[in-house]
Amino acid sequence: MPDESAIIHIEGVEKRYALGGEADVLALRGVHLKVHPGTYLAIMGPSGSGKSTMLNILGCLDRPSSGSYWLGGENVATMPDDQLSEARGLKIGFIFQSYNLIAQLTVIENIQVPLLYQGRDVRLFHQRCVDLAKLVGLGERLGHRPNQLSGGQQQRVAIARSLVNDPLMILADEPTGNLDSRTGTEVLDLIDRLNAGGKTIVLVTHDERVAARAHRVVHMKDGLIDREVVNRPPPMPS
């Protein structure tokens, strides 16, 4: 049964990668996790422990081989593909290590991309996109292209883009992995501000200083959550 107070509720999630002929890889081996709205959760663990697999499943980019996943109370483990991609587009914002901006598009156009995926009329959302560019400190750079921006600025465009459909949560895989420590700190400060505004954040990191900002840190090992550290109490479920 789904825990209705949780934004993420996974039970017994396994992920098996079939390797044609070879033995399969069991990348997740029965993971349980509940995350309440407004929580900032960090996922840590050694390379190969299943962090990216977990984030891909949480982000509906991939499905569990078995087990349950309720996202905002809705069972997404068994949802048909078209519904799953719609849920993903509306409920989840993504931030990647390598920003994943479109080189030919300007700052404002990159921020608009998830609107297009949802089939929305971007003209109706122009002011929202401008406001998001301002929120991330790029209000004066709307017509710039990615190669005219620093890495930190590009990641801030990606953050604005992740917010454009007003998702329930933001998922980030090593968002500061390509940034120097000063610009990395600026990006993390911005993520802190989003969380302070109530946005749920799930972030994968190798960096203890990044994880220290989260409410909760789950440590993965061999496809399971091995232990959890609570840095500070997450918001109470309402």
Residue 48 Cβ vs ligand ADP, minimum distance, rounded to whole Å? 4
Among 42, 44, 53, 93, binds ligand ADP (CB under 6 A): 53
CB 234 within 8 A of CB 215: yes
Residue 225 Cβ vs ligand ADP, minimum distance, rounded to whole Å? 12
Among 34, 48, 52, 62, binds Mg ion (CB under 5 A): 52
Judged by beta carbon, residue 24 or residue 166, the one nearer ligand ADP is: 24
Taking CB under 5 A as the rule, does residue 97 contact Mg ion?
A: no
From ligand ADP, Mg ion, none, interface partner of 64 (C-beta below 5 to 8 A by class): none
Distance CA 31, CA 15 (A): 10
3-state helix, strand, coil in the chain (%, to 5): 35, 25, 40
- Single out the segment in contact with Mg ion by CB under 5 A; choices: 48-56, 115-123, 150-158, 161-169: 48-56
Taking CB under 6 A as the rule, does residue 52 contact ligand ADP?
A: yes
- Amino acid (one-letter) located at 210: V
DSSP, residue by residue, 118-186: TT--GGGGHHHHHHHHHHTT-TT-TT--GGGS-HHHHHHHHHHHHHTT--SEEEEESTTTTS-HHHHHH
Among 37, 38, 44, 51, binds ligand ADP (CB under 6 A): 51
Judged by beta carbon, residue 45 or residue 67, the one nearer ligand ADP is: 45
The CA angle 89-45-201, to the nearest 5 degrees, is 35
For residue 137, give the nearest of 99, 214, 193 by alpha carbon. 193
Judged by beta carbon, residue 1 or residue 19, the one nearer ligand ADP is: 19
Distance CA 92, CA 165 (A): 8
3-state secondary structure of 104: coil
Judged by beta carbon, residue 58 or residue 111, the one nearer ligand ADP is: 58
Binding residues for ligand ADP, per CB under 6 A?
17, 19, 25, 27, 45, 47-53
Instruction: Write out the residues near Mg ion by the rule CB under 5 A.
Output: 51-52
